[in-house]
Structure 1
Amino acid sequence: MSSPKVNKTIQEINERIRKGKAVVLNAGEMTALVKKIGKTKAAREVDVVTTGTFSPMCSSGLMFNIGQEPPVMKTSKVWINNVPCHAGVAAVDGYLGATEPAEDDPLNKVYPGRFIYGGGHVIEDLARGKAVHLRAEAYGTDCYPRRKLDKDVTLADLPFAQLLNPRNCYQNYNVAVNLTSRTIHTYMGPLKPNSHNANYATGGQLSPLFNDPFLRTIGLGTKIFLGGGTGWVLGAGTQHNPKPPRNERGIPLTAAGTLMLRGDLKQMRARYLRGVSIVGYGCSLAVGVGIPIPILDEDMAWFTGVSDADIQMPIKDYGYDYPNGLPRILGHVTYEELKSGEIMVNGKKTQAVPLTSLSMCLEVADELKKWIEAGKFLLTEAQETIPSF
C-alpha cells in the first residue's frame, strides 16, 4: 500500500517553527538529503530550506527622506558624499542608485585600476554608522523657501531609509567571455582577450530562484533575509523573463526570473551590504539575500534538491555579441564545472572566475536557518504570484 502524498501548509510549518520543532536545512544540505533518501522521504522530514546569495546587484538603491529643518525646503538636487541622487520625488524625499558614481569620479574619466566610489559605497557607509556629507539645492517657493542645505548626517538622522531594489536575485545569468583581441572592462569584471578568463555569478545550488524555479512559494509579500535584516519581495523585478527555455529539471537555460525587494536599512548590517568597485567599469552594491523555501510537497523537495551539476549557464561573448545586442550563445556549462575553476570555451581551456562569494552565500543561508530555528522568523504566503511560465 503506497504512502499518502505529502501535503503541508505554511500555517502548519509556522506552527512547528513556533514550537521549535521545525526541521530546517540549508539548500546544500537539502541537495545531499534528497540524493540520499529521495524526494518523498525528504518532503516528510524537512519543513524549510534556506537559500542564500551574495553578489553584485546593480539594480539596487536607497529610498530616503532627509527630514525638514527651518526654513523648510523642496529639494531639486541632492548629493550624498558627492554622489548625485534623484530628487524629483517630493519635498525632501530622494533615491540613491547603487551604480551612480561620485561627481568627482565620473564614468567618462574611469581608467583601469582606479577605485570608483559611488552609491553602493554610500549605502555601506550609512549601514556602518558613518557620517556622510549631504548637500542639497532648491529653487525656492513660498511654502518651501530654503534654497541650500549642507551638513553631515548619519543613518540615525534620516527619518526614512529603505532599500528599494528594482532587480535582484537573477535566476540564471551569463558566463562572460571576450573573444576579441583586446582586454575589455565590463560589469562582469575585466575580460582578457581571446577567452583567457570566464567570469560568472550566482550562488549555484544555494541560490534562491534555482530552488523554486517556477516561483511557487515566492511572490508579493514573501518575507526574506535582506542585507542582514528582514526584507520583503514586492514582485517581479525589472527585466523579469517568465518564459525562458528550461532543462528537464525546470532550471532556466538563460537569464530569467528577477525580484524587486524592499527592506529597512536601519535593521541591516554592513557585512551583507558591500560597496563594489568594478575596475574600468563603475560601481555597484553586493547584497546578501536569503529566501526560505517551504517544503509543501514532494515537488518542492525535488526542486530544492537541485545540485550544481543540474544548473546549466549560457556562455556569451562580451567583446562583440553582447554590446551589439546579438543573441548568440556559445554553449552551456554547468555550475559544477565553473566551480572547478576551469571550463572549455570553443575547445580552449579557460579560467573560470566567480563574482559571487560562495562562502557568503552559505553564511546568508545559515544565518536565516538560525533565525527560523530560534522561532524569530516565520514564513509568509505570497499575496500575488509572479509569472514564471
Structure 2
Amino acid sequence: MSQKLGLKENWKQFSLLVLINAFVGGMVGLERSIFPQYAQEIFGIESNTAILSFITAFGITKAVTNLMTGRFANRFGRKPLLVFGWLFAIPIPFILMYATSWNWVIFANILLGINQGLTWSSTVVMKIDLVGEKVRGLAMGLNEFSGYLAVGIIAFLSGYVANKYGITPYPFYIGIGISVVGLIMSYLFIKDTRTFVTIEKVSNSTSPLKNVFLDTTFRNRTLSSVTQAGLVNNLNDGMIWGLLPIILLQADYDSKSIGIITAVYPTAWGIGQLFTGRMSDIYSKKGLLFWGMLLQGIAILILPFTEDFFFMVAIAFILGLGTALVYPTFLSAIATATNPTQRAESIGAFRFWRDSGYAIGAILSGIIADLFGVSFAIISIALITICSAGIIKLRMPEKINSEP
C-alpha cells in the first residue's frame, strides 16, 4: 500500500503521536505549580534567582537539544530520537524525590530539557511529515493542544496531591507513570516518517535556504520575525513559570489555589489551539502572531496590580488565549516558509531560540525581581512582549513565500 500525505490518510499514527505528546507535556506539568514551594520547604531557598535556576538549566538544555534534534532528524530518523528522549525522562521523578541538594534538582531539569527537546521536537516534525500542506496549522494545533493541556492537567494534579499529601514524594509518582508509559508507547507503536518527506518534495517549490540557521535566525524576514516572537513568548513563559507561584505564595494562597491558577494558563493555551491551529491555515499568520503577542503583553502588564483569585484566573486565561494564537502559528509559518528537506533543521533552529527564551526569561526576571521586586520584573517582561508584537507588525511580510 503506497503512502499518502494527509490527516485523514494517516489518522491512526497521527492520533498516537497526539497522545504521546500529551505524555511529553505532562513531564513539564509535574513541576509547574509546586517548584517554588518545593525549593523553599525542602532546600530553604528563598532567592528568586536561585529558584529560577532550574528553569535556566531546563531552557538552555532544551534549546541545544532542539537544535541537535533538527539536524539529526534526517540522518537518524524521527522515531529513534523520540524513543531516546524518553530514556532521559525515567530518572527525573526519582531524582526529585530523593534529591539531597539543589544541584540534583538542576541535574534533573537538565535531563528534562533533553527529554523535551528530543521528544517534543520529534512529534512536531513527524506530524508535519504526515499531514501535508493544507492542514498543517490544524496538525500543529492538535499537537500543541495535547501537550499543553497535559501541562495544565498535571500542574493542577501535582498541586492537589502536594496540598493533600505533602510536597514530596507523592506528586512525583505521577512522573514515574508518565515516563514509563510514554517510552513503551513510543517504542512499540510509532513508525518513522522520513519517507513522507520524499513524497512532499516532489510537489513543493519552496526555494532552499542558503544557511538554515542564519536564515531562520536573522536573514529571512518571515523566519526571523517568527523566531524572535518565539523567543519572547518563552521568555515570558519562563517568567510566569517561576514568578507566578511566588506571587501567589506571597499573597498567602495555598497549594491547591496556586495549582488552579497556574493550571488555567496552560489549559487555556492548550484547548485554544484546537481552534487557533486551524485558523492559521485560513487567516493571516502575521495577524495571529501580532494579536497573540500583544494580548500576552497586556495580560502580563495587569498581573502585578491584583491579588483577587478570580481576577488572577481571568488574567491566566487571557494569557493562555494569547499564547494559543501564536504557538501553532509559529510552527505552521516555519513549515510553510521552508523546503521539506530543510524543514526539520529550520524548526530545530527556531525551537533553539524559542526555548532559549526560558533561560533568558528566568535569568532576567530573577535578577530584576531580586534587585527591584517581583512586580517590576513582571512589568519589564510585559513591555518586552509588547515590543515583540511591534516587530511582527513592522518586519514580517503579509504573505509567506510558498503560500498562493
Specify the TM-score bucket, using the shorter chain as the normaliser: under 0.3
How high is the TM-score relative to the length of structure 1? 0.24
TM-score (normalizing by structure 2): 0.23
Structure exhibiting the larger radius of gyration computed from Cα positions? 1
Larger relative strand fraction: 1
